[in-house]
Amino acid sequence: MGTMGFKNLLVSTLLYLPSSKSLTIFWNFGSMLGMILLFQIFTGVFLTFFYVPEGLMSFSSVQYIMYEVGWGWLFRIFHFNGASLFFVFLYLHIFKGLFMCSYRLKKVWFSGLLIFFLIMMEAFMGYVLVWAQMSFWAAVVITSLLSVIPYYGNYLVIWIWGGFSVCSATLKFFFVMHFLLPWLVILLVMVHLFFLHETGSTSVLYTHGDYDKLMFGFVYWMKDLYNLLFFWFFLFVFLFPYLLGDPEMYIEANSLVSPVHIVPEWYFLFAYAILRAIPNKVLGVLALFMSVFSYFFFLMVKNYVSMLVKLNKFLVFLLLICCVFLSWLGQCMVEYPFYELSKIFSFIY
């Protein structure tokens, strides 16, 4: 009976699921993210075979993967470019949700934001594992931000560090967490899909009842085949594999010499610009946290007006432009006029 129940669930999810007739190509971002997640886990598992999570050896083990392991360079290049590609589609997916007022589906929105938080943690910890100059000092900066938590902050920082500074114990902690978190993400993705199939996707027409919808099977299977085109994005892996990286990522970590200009990866630059725009450490960290947490406030919005309303589109476009400018300002030096512009765009955000 259990097998039949599972079979019925699978058939109803993949074949008979009522879907809006106006779902566009932008609807595919979610399924693309699922494909990239599985691809990241696949390549990541192979990299763990040869990676050594130890302060003196980790940078050398990454070089060993690149130069000595058969096809190791390919797996690593796919893995770190896959992380960038993941965030490209993740941000597109979130902005598509804002355009379509997807926060009406409260369970779907909440579970999606939890996945977003976990993916940000996952990406940061993977970045540190290279144990290069930029990733080491990024770890020092980001983990020390936890010290703003009243009373427990310093204890929490020392616990994560495993000592009195970022050291080999910190690396091991990050490695274990980086390995375990994707399995929790997969579980949350399944919950996210379950909630989505319970309510159906939002669309431009905002179709209410199942009487006005199409069957998911075949029609949207064909649309999902567009995902195969996403593999063409991996062409830039061979053409420009290091385009999105930082030159400091090819210098081994040195705890005595910090880089002249510490910047995170491109996908965290908008939040980093907001952090730097505020001179007070506590308020800066609060603004950094709110830059992502503020999306939870959409759960309180009882917005059942048409998503074709121009004001909604204007506000989402404004947020999009703001994020682009903040990302550019995040990698600029802290000087005039970039610092003043960061304040202005942080306020608009």
Cite the active site residues. 197, 201, 223-224, 265
Token pair belonging to 93:
């997916």
CB 59 within 8 A of CB 132: yes
DSSP string, 177-202: HHHHHHHHHHHHHHHHHHHHHHH---
Burial of 335 from C-beta contacts in 10 A (0-12 / 13-18 / 19+): exposed
**Is the alpha carbon torsion for 324, 330, 336, 339 positive or negative?**
positive
Strands 18-20 and 213-215 come out as antiparallel
Which amino acid makes up residue 136? F
Residue indicated by tokens 């959409």: 298
Token pair belonging to 283:
């308020």
**188: phi then psi, degrees, rounded to nearest 5:** -65, -35
Instruction: Report d(CA 226, CA 32) in Å as an integer.
Output: 9
